[in-house]
């Protein structure tokens, strides 16, 4: 992605804040058939590695998980706010007219290797963390433990 130096944001805490505020990312990988992408929510564990670790889950019905190569880099794209910038906002428009429209946006590209985890305890912790993250603002948050354990166990087998 082309990124002019004056717009670049290298502070990890700012990047993490965008990921937390907009956790629905696009996982992009290369499979035998070419590029594949799945849009899914992620949980960021900032302390798990120097740049943080993203945790998510993908349905077994989604073909992408079968083509994940732990030796290849993957990309997750998180998109924050964006908007059109009109040339009318620039003082230079009135002076010379030498202006063009552009787009302003906040995006984090996270690169790393994908690891498939099929351990039911790990999956339960991940699904619970994801649920807790998104239910926490509610007055009465729903938790995974609100559903019958055998139902949740069956659902985890689909991940």
Q: Determine the pLDDT at residue 4.
A: 80
Q: Determine the pLDDT at residue 136.
A: 93
Pairing of strands 34-41, 102-113: unpaired
d(CA 87, CA 93) in angstroms, rounded, equals: 7
Spatial CB neighbours of 15, under 8 Å, sequence gap ≥ 6: 9, 108
In which residue ranges of the chain is pLDDT below 70?
none
Q: Determine the pLDDT at residue 32.
A: 79
Q: Determine the pLDDT at residue 94.
A: 87
- Token pair of 126 as six digits: 């991940």
Q: Determine the pLDDT at residue 7.
A: 84
Q: Determine the pLDDT at residue 134.
A: 94
Helix pair 120-135, 149-156: axis angle to 10 deg? 110
Q: Determine the pLDDT at residue 69.
A: 87
Q: Determine the pLDDT at residue 1.
A: 73
Considering the entire predicted model, what is its pTM?
A: 0.87
Q: Determine the pLDDT at residue 140.
A: 96
């Amino acid at each position: 992605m082309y990124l002019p130096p004056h717009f670049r944001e290298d502070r990890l805490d700012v990047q993490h804040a965008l990921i937390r505020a907009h956790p629905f990312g696009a996982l992009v990988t290369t499979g035998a058939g070419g590029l594949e992408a799945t849009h899914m929510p992620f949980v960021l564990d900032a302390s798990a590695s120097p740049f943080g670790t993203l945790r998510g889950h993908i349905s077994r019905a989604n073909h992408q998980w079968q083509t994940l190569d732990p030796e290849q880099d993957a990309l997750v794209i998180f998109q924050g706010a964006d908007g059109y910038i009109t040339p009318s906002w620039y003082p230079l428009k009135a002076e010379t007219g030498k202006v063009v429209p552009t787009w302003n946006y906040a995006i984090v590209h996270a690169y790393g290797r994908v690891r498939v985890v099929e351990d039911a305890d790990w999956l339960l912790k991940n699904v619970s963390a994801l649920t807790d993250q998104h239910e926490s603002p509610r007055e009465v948050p729903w938790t995974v433990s609100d559903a019958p354990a055998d139902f949740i166990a069956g659902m985890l087998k689909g991940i």
